[in-house]
Each structure stands twice: as structure tokens, then as C-alpha cells.
């Protein structure tokens, strides 16, 4: 796994670093184009689609033969029991468009984090 947990990387402490969740057919350059820095990806329930949240909008793309879901589920299943408990059965992949790092995060924390990128201080 790459990276570290927590705020040293600009992400919340409960985000867990992972590798290899984004299939090559997902055009990361394109999804990062409108993002400030981070995007969130997760498999939609009951359909073969991936939701992509850039903090301003949510897009969907087809999950080719369920590849993203299978890879993502494998990564989530291999995480530590502590990490699985933190994910609360609704994991989201956070992707750093600048440094190309990835974290698993609980969905509610991920959404809050993504939208906070665009809040004015």
C-alpha cells in the first residue's frame, strides 16, 4: 500500500491508503479535469456502473464486466478488520489527482471531504 493514513497527506485520519483500485479503462485524466484535487469513486448498487464524484457533480460510467466492483471489493475485503469497521459498509475510493494516490474512506466522510474542496474559507 502506498501513502499513509491521515492529515499528513491532506486527507482525514480515517482514510486508509490502497493501491490498484482504478482500472486502466477509467480515464483518470478526464475525471480529474474538473476536480480541484480529489475525486471519489464507488460501485453503484444493483447496476454495473461506477459513480464518480469530483466535489461539484456526480457522474457515472459503465463498469465494464464489473471490473471496478470486483477490484474494489477485493481491496476492501483485504483491508484490516479495523479499516473495515471504519468503512461502515459503504466504502468510497478517494483518488488524489495531483499525486495519484488512493485511499478507502467511509462514504459520508468521503462526500463531505470532496465537497469541502470547493468551500470558500
pTM, two decimals, is: 0.85
In a domain, 23, yes or no: yes
Note whether residue 107 is domain-resident.
Answer: yes
User: Mind listing the pLDDT tens digit for each residue in 80-106?
Assistant: 666 555 566 688 999 999 999 999 999
Residue 45 lies in a domain: yes
Average pLDDT over residues 44-62: 92
Domain count, the chain: 1
Query: What pLDDT score was predicted for residue 110?
Result: 94
Please choose, from the candidates 73, 22, 66, 24, the residue with its C-alpha nearest in 3D space to the C-alpha of residue 46: 66
Question: How high is the pLDDT of residue 121?
Answer: 47
Residue 110 in any domain: the answer is yes
Average pLDDT, whole number, for the chain? 84
Domain that holds residue 101: 16-116
Question: Of 65, 58, 2, 61, whose CA–CA distance to 27 is shortest?
Answer: 61
In a domain, 87, yes or no: yes
Q: Which residue has the cell 495519484?
A: 100
Structural domain contains residue 10:
no
Residue 76 belongs to a domain: yes
Residue-level pLDDT at 93: 94
The whole-number average pLDDT for the span 52-80 is 89
Q: Determine the number of helices (DSSP H) and then strands (DSSP E) in the chain.
A: 4, 6
In a domain, 1, yes or no: no
What local confidence, expressed as pLDDT, does residue 24 receive? Answer: 86
Half-sphere exposure (Cβ direction) of 3: Cα atoms closer than 13 Å: 24
Amino acid at each position: 500500500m502506498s501513502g499513509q493514513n491521515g492529515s499528513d497527506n491532506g486527507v482525514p485520519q480515517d482514510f486508509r491508503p490502497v493501491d490498484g483500485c482504478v482500472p486502466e479503462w477509467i480515464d483518470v485524466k478526464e475525471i480529474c479535469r474538473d476536480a480541484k484535487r480529489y475525486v471519489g469513486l464507488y460501485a453503484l448498487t444493483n447496476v454495473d456502473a461506477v459513480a464518480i464524484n469530483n466535489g461539484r457533480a456526480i457522474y457515472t460510467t459503465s463498469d465494464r464486466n464489473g471490473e471496478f466492483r470486483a477490484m474494489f471489493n477485493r481491496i476492501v475485503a483485504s483491508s484490516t478488520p479495523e479499516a473495515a469497521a471504519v468503512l461502515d459498509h459503504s466504502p468510497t475510493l478517494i483518488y488524489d489527482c495531483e499525486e495519484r494516490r488512493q485511499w478507502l474512506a467511509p462514504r459520508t466522510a468521503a462526500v463531505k471531504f470532496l465537497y469541502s474542496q470547493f468551500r470558500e474559507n
